[in-house]
Copies of this chain bind each other. A is one copy, B any other.
Amino acid sequence: MIAIDPKVETLRAQLPAVLGTAYFNAGSNGPIPRVAIDALVAAARAECEVGRIVPGAYEGNRGRNRRVAALIAELFNADASEIALTHSTAEGLSTALNGIAWRPGDEIVTTNLEHPGLTVPLCLLAHRYGVVIRYADIGHGGGDVVGAIAERMTARTRVVALSSLMWSSGAVVPLAEVTAEAHRRGAMVIVDGAQSGGQVPIDLHGLGVDAYAVSGQKWLCGPEATGALYVRRDRLADIAPTYLRYAQFDLSGYLIPVEGAMRYEIGEFYGPSILALEAALIWLRDEVGFDWAYERSVTLGRRCWDGLSEVPGVTVTTPRERMAGLVCFAVEGMPPQDLAAKLYERGMTIRYVALAPGPTVARVATGWWNTEEEVDALVAAVGDIASN
């Protein structure tokens, strides 16, 4: 038995979901801290008891939303005015992609490892505007990603759209280099941050990306239907709002959208869930510590990688030199769906990924809340299952 870091033990007590199962699936939905649900329940009960329309309710809701935007901006090194709240990463990506004035024959470069939350909106652009979608085959993300993307770019490439941490391989993309290359050639970079936001450090101003969409319910441990879209402040003219809720307007059809990235917000939000996200973000920042969390996720990920790579019949596909807390692998002769089901029976929650063009793999997400013992037990269980 391996001793548990007292800090980990204290924090785990605030995440009930990780106590009932070995919780290796923040890549789908993270565990929710008690403090977040308590905030949500208190607000939900108050809405029922007191009613939702009290003097100052609208101003209060706006102030609450902007506070959360500021927390997200702080986390990712952006300005609050560059952050719109969304209901999902897919919504954020659709907002960014639909905001561009496409011409037929314009091109977008993406990769073979993307989530349908990005791939489907890209296909829709092909259907609606005649945009050409070019896939860069980057394997599992371990090789020359920049070169593979650069090779697919042409003079008509207007956007490079990709994840910064691949849901289907666990690879952390060299995003600064991709961005530099794209910008050098006049293309914008729109990033699916569903897996990277809260799992690895993200410095948006440092990276220079043009848009970045993130989920609240994964590595940020918030409720479902929360998320954010970052649009760099000098891209407001390049990325127009498509679903616009707040603007000044006149009767002849002219309008001025609300300032900053707030123009991308599609009303409404469930207020108590925004308060829960706020509570989760503050808890992660102040009680957990993002830097500590990032470091621990990758340390546990490597431990898992190393363990699994020793198991006969297991092929780990995640590139170890570019990994964080997602470990993807295949067990010879066993569909990952079956493996995930067998592990669940043993009290371990992982998931599988099986969606073309991405690889078909089992996926372990090591969160900072996992223990070394849980990781070792998972490796042993995979070995046991693989040998039978």
Interface residues of A (CB under 8 A from B): 16-18, 20-21, 23, 25, 28-29, 31-34, 36-37, 40-41, 44-45, 47-55, 87-88, 90-91, 94-95, 98, 116-117, 119-128, 131-133, 135, 217, 223-226, 240-247, 249-255, 266-271, 273, 341, 344, 349, 351, 356-357
CB pair A247–B53 under 8 Å, yes or no, is no
**Residue in B28, B53, B87, B119 whose CB lies within 8 Å of A28:** B53
**Nearest chain B CB to A330 CB, angstrom units:** 21
- CB contacts (< 8 Å) of A117 on chain B: these are 245, 267
- CB contacts (< 8 Å) of A45 on chain B: these are 37, 41
**Nearest chain B CB to A69 CB, angstrom units:** 17
- CB contacts (< 8 Å) of A48 on chain B: these are 16-17, 31-34, 36-37
Q: Which 8 A-B pairs have the closest CB atoms?
A: A126-B253, A17-B51, A123-B255, A94-B243, A225-B270, A29-B52, A37-B48, A88-B268
With A and B bound together, what is the CA distance between A204 and B243 in angstroms?
25
**Nearest chain B CB to A159 CB, angstrom units:** 14
With A and B bound together, what is the CA distance between A55 and B252 in angstroms?
53
**Nearest chain B CB to A116 CB, angstrom units:** 7
With A and B bound together, what is the CA distance between A223 and B23 in angstroms?
30
With A and B bound together, what is the CA distance between A250 and B119 in angstroms?
9
CB pair B245–A90 under 8 Å, yes or no, is yes
**Residue in B20, B44, B94 whose CB lies within 8 Å of A40:** B44
CB pair B17–A120 under 8 Å, yes or no, is no
With A and B bound together, what is the CA distance between A245 and B213 in angstroms?
15
CB pair A87–B268 under 8 Å, yes or no, is yes
**Nearest chain B CB to A260 CB, angstrom units:** 16
With A and B bound together, what is the CA distance between A278 and B357 in angstroms?
37
CB pair A124–B50 under 8 Å, yes or no, is no
Q: List 30 A-B contacts (CB under 8 A).
A: A16-B50, A17-B48, A29-B51, A29-B53, A31-B51, A51-B349, A52-B224, A53-B349, A90-B243, A90-B245, A94-B243, A94-B244, A94-B266, A116-B249, A117-B267, A120-B246, A120-B255, A123-B249, A123-B254, A124-B241, A124-B255, A127-B253, A127-B255, A133-B253, A135-B251, A224-B271, A225-B273, A242-B243, A251-B357, A273-B273
